[in-house]
Amino acid sequence: MTDRGSYQPLTYFQLMEVSLRELLVEKGVVTDAQVDETLEDMRRRGPERGARVVARAWTDPEFRKRLLADGTAACEELGLDVPALRLVVVESTPEVHNVIVCTLCSCYPRMLLGLPPDWYKSRNYRSRVVREPRIVLAELGLEVPGDVQIRVHDSTAEMRYMVLPLRPPGTGGWSEERLASIVTRDCMIGVAVPEVTR
Ligand code: FE
């Protein structure tokens, strides 16, 4: 604390976080250890949950219907908690490719995909993917054929999107586990598509 050279004043939201956390600890609502544990849990979380949801939707047509109708409820069926959020799952088809963004900040289905990658939060991605999605996707390594329509979904604080990618050919008879293994984070954002590697 003596090194004033590295002193940085707290931003408004950092100050809010510290004040609220200290109050909650002081009032005995939560403990410091619980806060640390929850944070650690959030950092550790990867896209495995989302991949499980996709694999189930690929193998169970009734689940797929329920997932597209109400993402939050369908995830809860699998024991995945989607706290106080409306999860909207958008299905990519041979005609339509979906991609998600939060143009305002960095809203993201963290409960299913873990923490968002840095580029998702970048101003470059947020401002350009809505205007020139085909170009941005190509820059990220995904060439969407010209006859495939691209739909961009803008997330909000209350509503999160996740992409249900198209199940690739050559995966017939695969187990859910094996299917889940080819569903990457980027596939569920919509900047990549699942690929069958040998
Ligand atoms: Fe946001």
Predicted local distance difference test score (pLDDT) of residue 119: 95
**Whether residue 5 has pLDDT greater than 70:** no
Report how far residue 105's alpha carbon sits from residue 141's, in angstroms, rounded to the nearest whole number. Answer: 23
Chain-wide mean pLDDT for the chain? 92
Annotated catalytic residue, options 75, 92, 102, 187: 102
Domains and CATH numbers, the chain: 12-44 (no CATH), 48-189 (3.90.330.10)
Q: What percent of the chain has pLDDT over 70?
A: 96
**Whether residue 3 has pLDDT greater than 80:** no
* Catalytic annotation present for 105: yes
Both tokens of residue 161? 């999107």
> Distance, CA 105 to ligand 1 centroid (Å)?
4
> Distance, CA 157 to ligand 1 centroid (Å)?
6
Mean pLDDT of 16-32: 94
> Distance, CA 141 to ligand 1 centroid (Å)?
24
Annotated catalytic residue, options 75, 92, 107, 155: 107
> Distance, CA 182 to ligand 1 centroid (Å)?
27
* Catalytic annotation present for 106: yes
pTM over 0.75: yes
Annotated catalytic residue, options 105, 122, 127, 175: 105
For residue 152, the cross-strand partners are 99
> Distance, CA 61 to ligand 1 centroid (Å)?
31
pLDDT-derived band at 85 (thresholds 50, 70, 90) equals: confident
pLDDT-derived band at 4 (thresholds 50, 70, 90) equals: low
